[in-house]
A and B are shown apart, each in its own frame.
Chain A
Amino acid sequence: MSARLIVIAQIEQVAAEQNKKLRPLTDDLNLLDSGLDSLCFAILVARLEDKIGFDPFTVSDDVEFPVTLGDFIRAYEHAPTQA
């Protein structure tokens, strides 16, 4: 399964678990408007690290946190250089 599909599936699962209503998951969706709160994102990042094998937001100190869903997915599509 591609990183994109894994990310989308996990977003939907976390939203369901946390009783959050998701906006349609398009690449230009602003994460802050997605319907997920910061706890949901924390859970999501932890689970994706277990599924995909890395956490793109802690491998490097100067990483920028993504703004849109597209940014978020792209972060997982590129394996870290220093893994």
Chain B
Amino acid sequence: MPQPRPESLIEALERAEPLDHSFISDGAQRQSLGELLEAAQVLDGSGWAGRSVMIAVATQFDAARVLVSLDGKVQRLLLLPPDVNPEHYAAMIRDASIDTIICSDAAPFLALGVETLVLGEALPNILKGRNNQSGPTQWLMLTSGTTGEPKIAVHSLAALTGAIAPVDSARRPSWATFYDIRRYGGLQIFLRAMLSGGSLTLSRPDELVVDHWKRLAASGVSHVSGTPTHWRRALMSDVASLYRPRVIRLSGEIADQAILDGLKTAFPDSAIGHAYASTEAGVGFEVTDGLEGFPSSYLETAPGGVELRVLDGSLGIKSTRMASEYAGRPDLALVAEDGWVDTGDMIETRNGRCYFVGRRGGIINVGGLKVHPEEVESVINRHSAVRQSRVRARKSPVIGSIVVADLVLLPNAGDVDVVKQEIFGLCKASLAAHKIPAVLSVVPMIEVTAGGKVARAYA
């Protein structure tokens, strides 16, 4: 008989005991999961009951402490990622009905008219109660778009952990992620650690990839996850010569064949999979056959308790792991009336395989013909001298937009003009004329968002 899902992180950790050998660490701070659990158990929840709390602390480590201590005690927890523009705080507090902010420095929050608490060694017991607490805590996550007012997806612990399989306590994984745990992709790894009772090694924003990787090696990490962009950076830093984890997972962006093959070459003995998940749609599915895209048979029967469809070219998902709504925005439907979430991730089906070709909003219009940047990037990335590429629109007085590409080349790429001609030839062989980049520019680096994805104008 499978156990029912834990109703709180405290319950999850209690089930995972003993926790003496498991820890959470960011290199600067470290705590055993047993200590984390104990701090949560001693915190009197009565004063916290009914509160809607924004977790605005400076580090992932402190966010993890607060999550474990407050989940199950408060009405709502809103996780504030570190890269959010403070201009949006007021709208977020309004939409999520936040009445309490836990932070490391109160200054940015004082003018917001909300009770502000600075986190010290432990959370205080002294608060006066607001409302009666009923039912599990709602988990509020910012969606991954980076421009405009952020939207806040409402989740439950049950939905967030719905894809996490039980782990044999004798074979606990040791988890790590390039992501920040205050966004959906990273939170999944945090929750896997909490439910399995396994260790978690956090990333740090300004740390060099090589130094991060040395910490993973020292912690004996077995499972590492990140975006394809994170992994390209890791390969550029030759991390495989330092340490090889047992399991490698990619998500958050399209994993093209070039990055999957690159990882397979660098990590021949690791299990490499790419997963589909989004803040709104939750964890979708994982693909472990080493190929980009996913089998089109998933549209009939998908693994792991999820239903998939392609409607107007866009992937739809239905499962118990979806968010329920956007907080404070009844005008926006997160889940359509028919019960499906439209992901906006565009799919093309060829020879029994579904391929991600890009975002609906990211289409470049070349004289009325559509181009997905990611589709062109996946062709460019096949060239062995290319480490990363970004395809974008360039305004054209003649035709609306044309396609241009920025390239980051490997240090030993050779003659740049020869490489450009070869890339041009690859594109010509596989793409329609309007999709071939008109201009290829070699650049030192491509901008990456705080979420570890290639920065795109529409994101």
Contact = CB atoms under 8 A, between A and B. Distances in A.
Do A and B form a real pair? Answer: yes
A74 B367 CA distance: 26
B404 A46 contact: yes
Contact of B439 (A18, A38, A46, A55): A46
A46 B393 CA distance: 11
A59 to B, nearest CB: 10
B397 A39 contact: no
Interface residues of B, number: 18
Interface in B365-415: 366-367, 394-399, 402, 404
Contact of A46 (B402, B428, B436): B402
Contacts of A39: 366-367, 399, 402, 433-434
Nearest to B397: A57
B402 A43 contact: yes
Contacts of B431: none
Interface in B73-121: none
Interface string B413-450: 00000000000100010000110101101000000000
B433 A18 contact: yes
A47 B424 CA distance: 14
A45 interface: yes
Given A46-B402, A46-B438, A38 B367 contact: yes
A28 interface: no
Contacts of A43: 402, 438-439
A53 B134 CA distance: 65
A58 interface: yes
A41 B400 CA distance: 12
Contacts of A50: 439, 441
A67 to B, nearest CB: 14
Interface residues of A, number: 15
A38 B399 CA distance: 7
A46 B394 contact: yes
Interface string A34-72: 000011011101110010000101100000010000000
B433 A41 contact: no
Contacts of A38: 367, 398-399
Contacts of B399: 38-39, 41-42
A45 B397 contact: yes
A41 B398 contact: yes
A33 interface: no
A82 B402 CA distance: 24
A17 B54 CA distance: 56
B439 A42 contact: no
Contact of B396 (A17, A18, A45): A45
Nearest to B404: A46
Interface string A5-42: 00000000000011000000000000000000011011
B399 to A, nearest CB: 4
Contacts of B438: 42-43, 46-47
A55 B394 CA distance: 12
The CB with the most chain B CB atoms within 10 A, among A17, A39, A45, A65, is that of A39
The CB with the most chain A CB atoms within 10 A, among B367, B434, B438, is that of B438
Contacts of B433: 18, 39
Interface of B: 366-367, 394-399, 402, 404, 424, 428, 433-434, 436, 438-439, 441
The 10 lowest CB-CB distance pairs between A and B, nearest first, are: A43-B438, A42-B399, A42-B398, A57-B397, A42-B396, A42-B402, A41-B398, A58-B397, A46-B438, A38-B399
Interface of A: 17-18, 38-39, 41-43, 45-47, 50, 55, 57-58, 65
15 contacts: A17-B424, A18-B433, A38-B398, A41-B399, A42-B399, A42-B438, A43-B439, A45-B397, A46-B404, A46-B439, A47-B438, A50-B439, A57-B397, A58-B397, A65-B398
Given A46-B404, A50-B441, 9 more contacts: A17-B436, A38-B399, A39-B366, A42-B398, A42-B399, A45-B396, A46-B439, A50-B439, A58-B395
